[in-house]
Amino acid sequence: MLVYEDLLNNEETFSPAMLLKMAFISEGKGDYSSASFFLAKYYDQNPNQRVITKIKSLTEQVNLIGYELDDGDRLFKFVTDFQTELSSTFSFLLFLSLILLFVFRTKADKPRYYLPTAVLIVLVFVVNNFLSEPKTGIVTGSPTLIMDQPTAGGKLIEVVEPGHRVVIKSTKDVWYEVSWGEKVAFVKKDNITRL
């Protein structure tokens, strides 16, 4: 287990099988918080309903927030998994179109001949700059206060127990700005473990 933790924490290298083994070992030791963390990290890589069911049984909670995926989320996950391949393909096609424009520069006298090159430039830019998976975290503090403002004087939205998954939008001092259902909320950094 120490080797796995060293790989995960220091080298930030892991495989799905390694995360499942770490969750199994942590559960066997009675460390349900760590087991939930490893399963949530696994869920980020391989969204699966069985993982959610296991996290619910570990945390003894029926209504965990943050594990819902719609078709748009699944499509975005699929595209981000193949980001390198998409970037390489579009870059190759862009290079090829630039060569063709150079070779046929005397015949390419109308703007429509430049349209594929312009579209490929935009696609390469979008794939390289806007396709990144959202930063996520799991609630590990007990109890955790979900606030509407990054201050202790803000309005309390909800008090939750560990196990909920949140998308981290930004940081403000000792607070994370997170997505909480359909709302924007704030949680103290001490209560969130980044995945």
The pLDDT tens digits along the chain (195 residues) read 777 777 777 777 788 888 888 888 888 888 887 888 888 888 888 887 788 888 887 777 777 777 777 777 778 888 888 889 999 999 999 999 989 888 887 777 777 778 888 999 999 999 988 887 778 888 887 788 888 888 888 888 888 888 888 888 888 888 999 988 788 889 998 888 888
Give the Cα separation of 26 and 80 in Å (integer): 30
Long-range contacts of 103-107 (CB under 8 A, 24+ apart): none
Give the Cα separation of 20 and 8 in Å (integer): 13
pTM: 0.68
Please name the residues in contact with 102: beta carbons below 8 A apart, sequence gap of 6 or more: none
